[in-house]
Amino acid sequence: MKIETVVVIGAGVMGSGIAAQIANAGKKVLLLDIIPDGADNRNILAETAIQKLIKVKPAALMHKRNAKLITAGNLEDNLADLAHIDWIIEVIIERLDLKQELYKKIDAVRKHGSIVSSNTSTLPLTDLTAGLSEQFANDFLITHFFNPPRYMRLLEIVVGEKTRPAAVDTLRDFCDHQLGKGVVICNDTPGFIANRIGAFWMQTAMLEAFRLGLTVEEADALCGRPMGIPKTGVFGLLDLVGIDIMPHVMNSMTQSLPKNDPFQEQAVIPKLVHKMISDGYTGRKGKGGFYRINKAQGAKIKESINLSDGEYAPSKKALLASLAPHIVKDLQKLVSFDDKGGEFAWSVLSKTLSYSAQLIPEIGDNIDAIDRAMKLGYNWKYGPFELIDKIGADWFIDKLVSEQQSVPPLLLLAQNKHFYKVEDGQRQRLDIKGIYQPIQRDEGILLLADIKLANRPIKKNASASLWDIGDGVLCLEFHSKMNAIDPDILAMIDTAVKIIPNNYKTLVLYNEGENFSVGANIGLALFAANVAAWPQIEAMVRSGQDTYKALKHAPFPVVGAPAGMALGGGCESLLHCDAIQAHAESYIGLVEVGVGLIPAWGGSKEMLSRWMANPKRAKGPMPAISKAFEIISTATVSTSAAEAQNYLFINEADSITMNKERLLFDAKDKALSLVNGYSPKEEIQLALPGATARTALNLAATSFVQSGKATEYDGTIADQLAMVLSGGETDISELQSEDDLYSLERKAFMALIKKDNTLNRVQHMLEAGKPLRN
């Protein structure tokens, strides 16, 4: 059975968010809720939820048009519609009696073989299905989404003893391919995997910070990047999820867990936290939390609470000796460092990692699945067993023993070895019998990380590598800082263009960094500008243009495969590809105006030519010129790959992959599909109006300056951009070649980088610690 129709019952924040992600997959979804007493509009709850989805930030919908795929209804008038639904998702209040009452109604009308699931995070599956029909139990499971459903990749699926395997396979495949989820199968235990470990970690870190007298900044600095955890740390995360949630989570866990479970000892809410909740300091959704923004003096001042007396004061950078760079780079050094920071790090990690090992096989018997759940559900860089490997299993065990702490049996199995190892180019994991098992990837998943275990790059320099990913396909990987485009990356593109024709079939631009590329490294140009090395700067611009032009007109197909941010020079690399296979969460844009420049590696030219070739544009050159001017001059960045198609950063014929782990496989497949009969792109020629178009564009920019919406220097930048897009000193009777347009880009770029305002903008970004990329 394939899932084509879905209903979500419960139009709250979570239910509507799940409905939005299903709509993002291009599927029609029915969103139902109760009819409020006295309501004139019987669908008011679901309709209101849909309207909120359109406006909420960060956006739940990848494109506003996706809202049209969600139909509002109610549980009385639309209950019979469930007879035509493939997957029914229940997302109502966490009360067993209400859920079971709803399930009986669902079971009476649903079609044979439809799948029913609950998004519960607290109630056992056995309780949910107790007393219901055998067939209902066969078709029932738990699908635990994480909030917000669009952005959090983890989906925990809990399977009952009676759940039919076909239902599990169908749902797992749909959520993987269509919803982009990393699916982890869990046992039916309290908190499942991620929240069982994650809640224990948060609670432990909070209590240890109180006990040791740390500031919230110190605790977050230690609990953040040194441990491979997002920089929010623990207190920032508690503010984000809501401090008032903590007592409810602790109550649920203590009631459902055995009295001898270590979680019981940690389930203590400090008096200060109770007071914060009662005073409305519940985190970001309230007056503030462990951090707050004080606007009392007319300025926004970030403050943090003193855990000892509950008073707020301006936040200060953590300056513990244990936070020295050479210490935090080595986790073993950090947890053994002799100050309160080291004591805190050891206490938190020793308790959390020991607890995680103790939970095997209760919550699951696959350490890789558990590590994956923490990485996808809590955005940890490393899972608990990967962290033990980083510290050293033997060292970890010895320290536990020296402190007379118990050592979980699974941890003892890792003595004199690691939880993970690489054998014959394949990663393996330790199982619960102490035997290494190969980590298998699902069909259709191809990761560069796996390829690197068994192969060496074809070519490599400091910023980029070329990898053979099979079937005659090369992958060009960026690995500079933030994947910023620099001369080494340009050189590797040139290398690929030279070696592929006689040795390979096609090229994919792809990497597994957090972002595809944040742009060109404009800092290099700044250093040259400070010594007025203008010929060198112009040579850098020309080098980028020549490289991207060679990429665009290469005698083989090139596919760009972005994920995350693809900005400035990174966006320009994509604009010169034959096709794009983008991850759904791709944020693409030309942002050069932010540093006082214009796109000069062909970005302005390519946006202009795409809008000129757009069959939907109005007649004449000005609509296309105006659209390209608007997008570039406002530094427009798409909020998704689907929205990027609106701006023609990627074309309508390009493809989108929902699951990031499947992106390289899909990009490789697309690249191979273009090989047979491939012909290099012909050079573009455009008829542009020249001075008249430049004047018209400048009039629009001037109105923004005069209204105070733009600065005078923004007007200067706009004028140079207008010069490029209008064709410079030409008229409509002349054709502008690609080289003509590249020349105009260089001319505009050089005119702007010589301006003090541009240098001051870049220098200000440098002093503020912002990345010098465009």
% of the chain at pLDDT higher than 90 = 90
> Check: CATH 1.10.260.40 for 194-423?
no
**Taking the domain 5-186, which CATH number applies?**
3.40.50.720
pLDDT above 50: residue 772: no
pLDDT above 90: residue 206: yes
Picking from 177, 178, 174, 109, the residue whose alpha carbon sits closest to that of residue 141 is 174
- Assign 539 to helix, strand or coil: helix
Tell me the two tokens of residue 271.
Answer: 């008096």
Q: Is 741 left (phi over 0), alpha (psi -120 to 50) or beta?
A: alpha
pLDDT band, very low/low/confident/very high, at 522 (cuts 50, 70, 90): confident
pLDDT band, very low/low/confident/very high, at 496 (cuts 50, 70, 90): very high
- Residue 429 has a pLDDT of 97
- Residue 756 has a pLDDT of 73
- Amino acid found at 494: D
Please state the domain extents for the chain: 5-186, 194-423, 445-591+637-680, 601-634+682-774
pLDDT digits (tens, 9 = 90+) for 32-65: 999 999 999 999 999 999 999 999 999 999 999 9
- Residue 709 has a pLDDT of 85
pLDDT band, very low/low/confident/very high, at 265 (cuts 50, 70, 90): very high
Q: Are 483 and 491 in contact (CB under 8 A)?
A: no
Q: Please give the torsion angle defined by the CA atoms of residues 203, 240, 316 and 768, in that order, rounded to the nearest 10 degrees.
A: 140
- Residue 618 has a pLDDT of 82
pLDDT above 70: residue 771: no
- Residue 762 has a pLDDT of 61
Residue by residue, what is the 3-state secondary structure of 208-277? HHHHHCCCHHHHHHHHCHHHCCCCCCCHHHHHHHCCCHHHHHHHHHHHHCCCCCCHHHHCCCCHHHHHHH
- Residue 764 has a pLDDT of 60
pLDDT digits (tens, 9 = 90+) for 391-417: 999 999 999 999 999 999 999 999 999
C-alpha pair distances (Å), 528 with each of 407, 442, 481, 597, 769:
58, 49, 20, 15, 19
- Residue 523 has a pLDDT of 75
Q: Are 447 and 475 in contact (CB under 8 A)?
A: no
Q: Are 422 and 453 in contact (CB under 8 A)?
A: yes
pLDDT band, very low/low/confident/very high, at 112 (cuts 50, 70, 90): very high
How do beta strands 5-9 and 735-737 pair?
unpaired
- pTM of the predicted structure, to 2 decimals: 0.94
pLDDT digits (tens, 9 = 90+) for 648-672: 999 999 999 999 999 999 999 999 9
% of the chain at pLDDT higher than 70 = 98
pLDDT above 70: residue 533: yes
pLDDT digits (tens, 9 = 90+) for 757-768: 666 766 665 555
Mean pLDDT over 416-423 rounds to 95
Mean pLDDT over 454-463 rounds to 96
pLDDT above 50: residue 210: yes
Mean pLDDT over 354-360 rounds to 97
Mean pLDDT over 167-177 rounds to 97
Q: Are 60 and 39 in contact (CB under 8 A)?
A: no
Would you tell me which CATH number, out of the four given (3.40.50.300, 3.90.226.10, 3.50.50.60, 3.40.50.2000), belongs to the domain 445-591+637-680?
A: 3.90.226.10
pLDDT above 80: residue 633: yes
Across the chain, what does the average pLDDT equal? 94
pLDDT band, very low/low/confident/very high, at 708 (cuts 50, 70, 90): confident
pLDDT above 60: residue 770: no
Picking from 425, 403, 400, the residue whose alpha carbon sits closest to that of residue 414 is 400
Mean pLDDT over 406-431 rounds to 95
Mean pLDDT over 744-753 rounds to 94
pLDDT digits (tens, 9 = 90+) for 274-333: 999 999 999 998 999 999 999 887 788 999 999 999 999 999 999 999 999 999 999 999
Rounded to whole angstroms, how far apart are CA atoms 620 and 609? 13
